[in-house]
Amino acid sequence: MYDVAVVGLGPAGRALASRCAAHGASVLAVDPRPSAVWAPTYGIWGEELGALPERVVRHRVRDPQLRARGQHSLGRDYLVLDNAGLQAELPLEGVSVRRDRLSDARVAALRAEARVVVDARGARPGGVVVDDPAPAQTAFGVVVSEEVAAPALQGAEGLLMDWRNDWTDDPEPAGPATFLYGIPLGEGRVLLEETCLAAAPGLPIEELRRRLRHRLGSRGVDLAAVDSPLEREIVRIPMRGRGAPPVEGTLAVGVAGRGGHVVTGYSMAHSLGMADGLARSIVEGRAPEEVDPRGADDLVREVGLRALLRLDVPGTVELFEGFGRMPVELQRAFMSRDSGSAELVRAMWEMFEVMPVRAKAELVRATLGSPWRRTP
Ligand SMILES: Cc1cc2nc3c(=O)[nH]c(=O)nc-3n(C[C@H](O)[C@H](O)[C@H](O)COP(=O)(O)OP(=O)(O)OC[C@H]3O[C@@H](n4cnc5c(N)ncnc54)[C@H](O)[C@@H]3O)c2cc1C
């Protein structure tokens, strides 16, 4: 009998398996590709690094900016993680690793082999769902050289979100707004990614590719380099994770559970930050009944997601103009998966307060009124 079985060795599962082993537990880990280096470009905020050493950082952006109507410095370092370096900091020494892909039934059956069974198989353990109706963040990105990217960044060191509407020529564009995520990765490379923060269903990748090309072309970026990039990235993040209760008798962590931020789609900082505490409680025989139980903060974030899914393009730009003008601690409260409901409400109220009257009305309509986009 193992103390704990962890199914899925993405960031959430690996961090937990590693910390359980470090605290002396016998650990079984199961993943179809246990030694694979994670492919996504992961970012977290500087203060979220916690006890992790600097060598897990691939690149540090010291002055990330947000652009909406105005230009705003976000006042915190933004870190691009070195996935291989991070995995090395989360060793699996002493962990029994099994190469396998498990169904729900086989995850449940592990209860015969381990006292605690953790499902960390991600949001879609069966693979991509065709015509997935769930709200999702989608993005299409290219990695290009610094020289190629320079006209896109327009002097900024990095653009966390550039909400300007140059993805289209239409002066009154319809459909969900998208932003440019333009982040240097180090070694002369830059990721330029057109991102739809949330739509239901997720905005198609082909539309994002078209918008990215249009935006970059209008800024004078060499489109031949965009069409033959150094790398491509496709992002698909179901905003509510699995969106289903955990397999009976198991704990769900990361985006298999409710570890993701339903407005930003981010979960890395939360999964890495909570792994040690959860590992301790498992090892000490006081595993919780549920990881990330639903709280008042979730209700507030759901209101934010609902608004995002229904806002028109000018309303979205104004919302993030409000975000850019907020003090950094309120920005942090809005973006962190670990904020409490009181600070979240304060942040969202502050965003609302600075919006012009028309945008306020649009935000109220989007939050309370009838949807113009489907929100399952
Ligand atoms: C391209 C991309 C970029 C992202 N960027 C960021 C970012 O910058 N910052 C941030 O915080 N978040 C980001 N996210 C969102 C989120 O944090 C990631 O999705 C993150 O990988 C979630 O970690 P996880 O361990 O919960 O799940 P996953 O990373 O999905 O890991 C699941 C693991 O389970 C394994 N698995 C799957 N099915 C089975 C099965 N049936 N049986 C056994 N094992 C299985 C997989 O092989 C994988 O190793 C990004 C997501 C994507 C897709």
Stretch 159-178: mean pLDDT, rounded?
Answer: 96
- Identify the band that residue 123 occupies on the pLDDT scale cut at 50, 70 and 90: very high
Instruction: Take residue 277 and report the two structure tokens written for it.
Output: 């505490």
Task: Give the residue numbers spanning the domain of 350.
Answer: 296-368
Atom of ligand 1 nearest to the CA of 101: 42
Q: Give the global pTM.
A: 0.96
Give residue-wise pLDDT tens across range 79-94: 999 999 999 999 999 9
The helix/strand/coil state of 272 is helix
Atom of ligand 1 nearest to the CA of 253: 26
Stretch 187-212: mean pLDDT, rounded?
Answer: 97
Sheet holding 231-238, edge to edge: 71-73, 64-67, 158-162, 179-186, 189-199, 136-145, 231-238
Atom of ligand 1 nearest to the CA of 42: 8
288 part of a folded domain? no
Instruction: Please give the share of the chain, as a percent, with pLDDT higher than 90.
Output: 90
> Which residue of 28, 31, 292 sits with most ligand 1 atoms within 8 Å of its CB, as the best mutation to test the pocket?
31
- Identify the band that residue 362 occupies on the pLDDT scale cut at 50, 70 and 90: confident
Cα–ligand 1 centroid distance for 14 (angstroms): 11
- Whole-angstrom distance, CA of residue 200 vs CA of residue 156: 31
Q: At what angle do helices 296-310 and 313-325 cross, to 10 degrees?
A: 130
- Say yes or no to pLDDT of 341 above 80: yes
86 part of a folded domain? yes
| C-beta 122 within 6 A of ligand 1 | yes
- Whole-angstrom distance, CA of residue 221 vs CA of residue 166: 13
| C-beta 176 within 6 A of ligand 1 | no
Stretch 149-157: mean pLDDT, rounded?
Answer: 98
Instruction: Take residue 107 and report the two structure tokens written for it.
Output: 């995850």
| C-beta 359 within 6 A of ligand 1 | no
Continuous segment of H or E residues that includes residue 66 = strand 64-67
Neighbours of 361 (CB within 10 A): 13
- Whole-angstrom distance, CA of residue 80 vs CA of residue 61: 8
- Tell me the CATH number at 115: 3.50.50.60
Cα–ligand 1 centroid distance for 334 (angstroms): 22
| C-beta 104 within 6 A of ligand 1 | no
| C-beta 120 within 6 A of ligand 1 | yes
250 part of a folded domain? yes
- Whole-angstrom distance, CA of residue 242 vs CA of residue 253: 10
92 with 170, same domain: the answer is: no
154 with 37, same domain: the answer is: no
| C-beta 33 within 6 A of ligand 1 | yes
Of the candidates 256, 245, 254, the residue with the CA atom closest to the CA atom of residue 289: 245
| C-beta 247 within 6 A of ligand 1 | no
- The DSSP code for 236 is E
DSSP characters over 128-163: PPTT--S-EEEEEEEEEEHHHHHHHHTT-SEEEEE-
Our count of domains for the chain comes to 3
Instruction: Give the closest residue (by CA) to ligand 1 atom 42.
Output: 101
- The DSSP code for 239 is T
Atom of ligand 1 nearest to the CA of 234: 1
Instruction: Give the closest residue (by CA) to ligand 1 atom 53.
Output: 235
123 with 234, same domain: the answer is: no
17 part of a folded domain? yes
CB within 8 Å of 277: residues ≥ 6 apart: none
Stretch 28-52: mean pLDDT, rounded?
Answer: 97
Q: Which amino acid is at 1?
A: M
- Identify the band that residue 370 occupies on the pLDDT scale cut at 50, 70 and 90: low
- Whole-angstrom distance, CA of residue 10 vs CA of residue 164: 34
16 with 109, same domain: the answer is: yes
175 with 27, same domain: the answer is: no
* pLDDT recorded at residue 372: 46
7 with 122, same domain: the answer is: yes
9 with 120, same domain: the answer is: yes
Cα–ligand 1 centroid distance for 255 (angstroms): 7
112 with 261, same domain: the answer is: yes
40 with 140, same domain: the answer is: no
> Which residue of 118, 160, 195, 268 sits with most ligand 1 atoms within 8 Å of its CB, as the best mutation to test the pocket?
268
Mean pLDDT across the chain: 95
Instruction: Give the closest residue (by CA) to ligand 1 atom 40.
Output: 101
125 with 112, same domain: the answer is: yes
Continuous segment of H or E residues that includes residue 93 = none
Instruction: Give the closest residue (by CA) to ligand 1 atom 15.
Output: 266
Atom of ligand 1 nearest to the CA of 127: 38
Give residue-wise pLDDT tens across range 288-322: 999 999 999 999 999 999 999 989 999 999 999 99
86 with 174, same domain: the answer is: no
